[in-house]
C-alpha cells in the first residue's frame, strides 16, 4: 500500500482541495492481488488503489471510453512469425500505467482509507492524472502511449491499433500492447534493447526478460527447432477449481456429435426450476438442464484431459495462410438456423477461428 501511495505522490496524481459547492465526489478502495507465475507459484503481492468509477456519470465526469486490448488473431499471428523467423520475444510491464495519462475532466475523489490526513477529513483529492477504476482511464493512457511510441518511429497497425512495428533496414520489431503489458518481438537483439531503453526513459517500466507467461497463456519455445507452443494449463486449472471440478476424471474424448440442445430441455415446471437453483453450474447453463449439464461436466473433463496440449507454431517451408470453412444445415433445433465455422493457419498453427450461428435461415446446403 505504501508503494502504491509513493507512486501516486511521485506522479503527482492529485491535489488536496476542499470540495467545491455542488461538486460530486467519488469513493475509492484498495484492491489486493496475488501475482502468480506460469506454475501458479506466488510471485508477489500487490495493492492497488482503485477509484469507484461506477459512480461517474457520462457527459459530466467522462466522455470517451474504450477497452485497451489487442485482437486475439493479431497476437496469434505475431507468435507464428516469432516461431518461423526465430525472433527474440521479451516482455515489459508498465508500472501504474494509467497514472501516465493527464486528466482533463474535473474529478474529485475521497482520500484513500488508511491514509487520511489528520484533521483534514473534509479534504478531497482533485485528480490530475488517471487512476485505475475511472471510466476513461484506458482511453487517455492509449493516446499517451501512442504519442510516445510513434515519436520513436513505430507505426500503428491499420487493422489493430494496439500492434505497432518498426523497420530499420533488415531489422524489424513488433510491439503488442495489452493494457499495461508490452510484448516485444524482433529479429535483432540490439534493436530490441534499444526500444527497451527508450521505453524505460519514458515510463516507469519493469523488464520481465524473455516471455514465459503472459495474459494467462504459457509460452514454451524450442529455438533450436524453431518451435513455439502456447498453452493455458494454469488458466484451465483455475477454471476447474472455480467450478469444483479439479478432481474430475480427465478425458480427451470430444462431446458426441449427436448432442443437440433445444429449448424443450428447459425446466417446464416449478419443481424442475427449483432443482436447477441447487445446481452449482446454473450460472453457466442458464435455464438448460439434464443432458446439457452433463455435457458441461464433460467439457470440464476434456479441459482437464487436454490442459497440457499446446497450440504449436513452427518454421515452415512456405509461410502461407491456409484456411478451412464449413457449416451444418438446419443445425439449431429451435430456430433451424445453420452454424458456420472457420479456421485459418499460419506456420502450422491456428491463428484465427470462429463458430457462429447464421443470422438467416438457409433454404439449401449451398446457401448454408
Express each pLDDT in 155-199 by its tens digit.
Answer: 999 888 889 999 999 999 999 998 888 999 999 999 999 999 999
What is the DSSP-derived secondary structure letter of residue 129?
Answer: B
Q: How far apart are CA 242 and CA 240, in angstroms?
A: 5
CB 250 within 8 A of CB 305: yes
- Residue-level pLDDT at 92: 95
Per-10-residue mean pLDDT for the chain, 368 residues long? 84 88 87 77 83 61 52 92 96 80 79 83 86 72 89 93 93 92 95 97 92 89 94 85 82 63 69 70 48 67 84 92 89 80 95 89 77
Nearest to 68 by CA among 162, 159, 155, 154: 162
C-alpha cell at 336: 433451424
- Residue-level pLDDT at 137: 63
- Residue-level pLDDT at 184: 97
HSE toward the beta carbon, residue 74, CA cutoff 13 A: 20
- Residue-level pLDDT at 253: 66
- Residue-level pLDDT at 236: 84
- The alpha-carbon radius of gyration of the chain (Å, integer) is 25
Q: How far apart are CA 43 and CA 207, in angstroms?
A: 15
CB 37 within 8 A of CB 213: yes
Determine phi and psi for 225, rounding to 5 degrees: -105, 0
What is the DSSP-derived secondary structure letter of residue 159?
Answer: S
Amino acid at each position: 500500500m505504501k508503494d502504491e501511495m509513493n507512486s501516486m505522490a511521485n506522479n503527482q496524481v492529485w491535489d488536496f482541495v476542499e470540495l467545491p459547492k455542488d461538486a460530486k465526489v467519488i469513493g475509492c478502495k484498495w484492491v489486493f492481488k496475488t501475482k502468480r507465475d506460469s506454475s501458479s507459484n506466488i510471485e508477489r503481492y500487490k495493492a492497488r488503489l482503485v477509484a469507484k468509477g461506477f459512480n461517474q456519470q457520462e457527459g459530466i465526469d467522462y466522455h470517451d471510453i474504450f477497452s485497451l486490448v489487442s485482437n486475439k488473431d493479431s497476437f496469434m499471428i505475431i507468435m507464428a512469425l516469432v516461431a518461423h523467423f526465430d525472433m527474440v520475444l521479451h516482455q515489459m510491464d508498465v508500472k501504474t500505467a494509467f497514472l501516465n495519462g493527464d486528466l482533463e475532466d474535473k474529478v474529485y475523489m475521497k482520500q484513500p482509507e488508511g491514509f487520511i490526513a489528520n484533521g483534514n477529513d473534509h479534504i478531497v483529492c482533485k485528480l490530475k492524472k488517471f487512476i485505475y477504476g475511472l471510466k476513461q482511464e484506458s482511453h487517455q493512457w492509449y493516446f499517451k502511449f501512442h504519442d510516445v511510441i510513434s515519436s520513436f518511429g513505430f507505426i500503428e497497425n491499420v487493422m489493430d491499433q494496439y500492434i505497432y512495428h518498426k523497420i530499420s533496414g533488415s531489422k524489424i520489431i513488433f510491439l503488442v500492447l495489452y493494457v499495461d503489458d508490452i510484448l516485444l518481438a524482433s529479429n535483432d537483439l540490439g534493436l530490441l534493447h534499444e526500444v527497451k531503453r527508450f521505453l524505460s526513459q519514458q515510463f516507469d517500466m519493469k523488464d520481465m526478460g524473455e516471455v514465459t507467461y503472459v495474459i494467462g497463456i504459457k509460452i514454451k519455445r524450442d529455438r533450436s527447432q524453431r518451435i513455439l507452443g502456447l498453452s493455458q494449463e494454469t488458466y484451465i486449472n483455475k477454471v476447474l477449481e472455480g467450478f469444483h471440478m479439479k478432481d474430475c476424471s480427465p478425458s480427451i474424448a470430444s462431446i458426441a456429435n449427436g448432442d443437440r440442445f433445444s429449448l424443450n430441455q428447459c425446466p417446464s415446471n416449478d419443481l424442475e426450476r427449483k432443482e436447477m437453483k441447487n445446481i452449482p453450474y446454473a450460472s453457466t447453463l442458464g435455464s438448460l438442464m439434464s443432458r446439457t449439464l452433463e455435457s458441461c461436466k464433460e467439457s470440464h473433463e476434456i479441459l482437464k484431459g487436454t490442459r497440457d496440449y499446446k497450440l504449436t507454431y513452427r518454421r515452415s517451408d512456405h509461410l502461407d495462410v491456409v484456411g478451412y470453412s464449413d457449416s451444418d444445415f438446419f443445425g439449431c433445433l429451435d430456430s433451424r438456423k445453420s452454424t458456420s465455422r472457420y479456421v485459418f493457419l499460419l506456420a502450422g498453427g491456428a491463428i484465427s477461428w470462429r463458430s457462429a450461428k447464421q443470422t438467416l435461415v438457409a433454404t439449401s446446403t449451398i446457401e448454408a
